[in-house]
Amino acid sequence: MGEPKFARPKFDTPSHPWKAERIEEEHQIQKNHGLKNMREIWKAKSQLRRHRRQAMRLIGMSDGTVAHVKREVEDLTRSLHNKGLIASDASLDDILSLGTEDILNRRLQAQVYYKGLAATMKQARQLVTHGHICVGDQKVTIPSYPVSRDEEELIKYHMASDLNDPDHHVRQIIDGRASSAEYAVEEEEVDPEATAEFATEVKEAAAEAPSAEDTGGDE
């Protein structure tokens, strides 16, 4: 049963930790998405396995529970659609075709990058953790925060962030890089990590922004 005061991990670690092909693949994903460690990839893979397991279970259910199966299929597809993982008319086969990067693309860090609020994935993570990004009126400082389909258009700079000023030095760097960046990462690598000057500017701008505790945000 385990020690009650220690939470069990919500993800599975690789069954073969030293498999070269998997390690190389995960290093590439980590680089493309600006992830801090491999655990973030393992969490995404565990989530993906849960979705696939649900879809496979529904595909394999007998005809004796057609109405029940139909309701479960509708619930599952609606849930994943709201999460931004599949289209509204997607089938169970579409769920089985999802990949790890489809899950990672729903992270707040990735959405900030895709919306052009940061020039690179690593810069996006930095802006989120320093309190420059909010979803609606709520500041979110968790890069792995899952963005729902309804929240996509609510992502913006926090009202207390200096980056709301288009003439701010860091904002000009971001706008300049974002205007020329290609956000399809299938063929090319994401831009290199932020420069030391950029990091200094972000930290200085973040000093005046309220903390997550000040706004009651989740950690």
**What's the gap between Cα 120 and its chain centre?**
14
* pLDDT in the model for residue 3: 61
Task: Please state, in angstroms and rounded to a whole number, the distance separating the CA atoms of residues 135 and 159.
Answer: 11
At the topology level, CATH places domain 107-215 in: 3.10.290
The one-character DSSP state at 163 is G
Question: Which is nearest to 147 in space by CA: 95, 101, 184, 111?
Answer: 111
Question: Which is nearest to 194 in space by CA: 208, 210, 174?
Answer: 174
* pLDDT in the model for residue 191: 45
Amino acid making up residue 26 = E
pTM above 0.85, yes or no: no
Amino acid making up residue 142 = I
* pLDDT in the model for residue 201: 58
Give me the tens of pLDDT residue by residue for the chain, a chain 219 residues long.
556 666 666 666 777 777 888 888 889 999 999 998 889 999 999 999 999 999 999 988 865 467 888 889 999 999 999 999 999 999 999 999 999 999 999 999 999 999 999 989 999 999 999 999 999 999 999 999 999 999 999 999 999 999 999 998 888 888 887 566 544 343 344 444 445 555 555 556 555 554 444 444 444
The pair of structure tokens assigned to 144 is: 């792995």
Domains in the chain: boundaries: 20-103, 107-215
* pLDDT in the model for residue 178: 59
Task: Please state, in angstroms and rounded to a whole number, the distance separating the CA atoms of residues 198 and 58.
Answer: 49
C-beta atoms surrounding 67 within 10 Å = 7
The burial of 190, by beta-carbon neighbours within 10 Å (0-12 exposed, 13-18 middle, 19 or more buried), is given as buried
The burial of 108, by beta-carbon neighbours within 10 Å (0-12 exposed, 13-18 middle, 19 or more buried), is given as buried
* pLDDT in the model for residue 40: 92
The pair of structure tokens assigned to 176 is: 């300049």
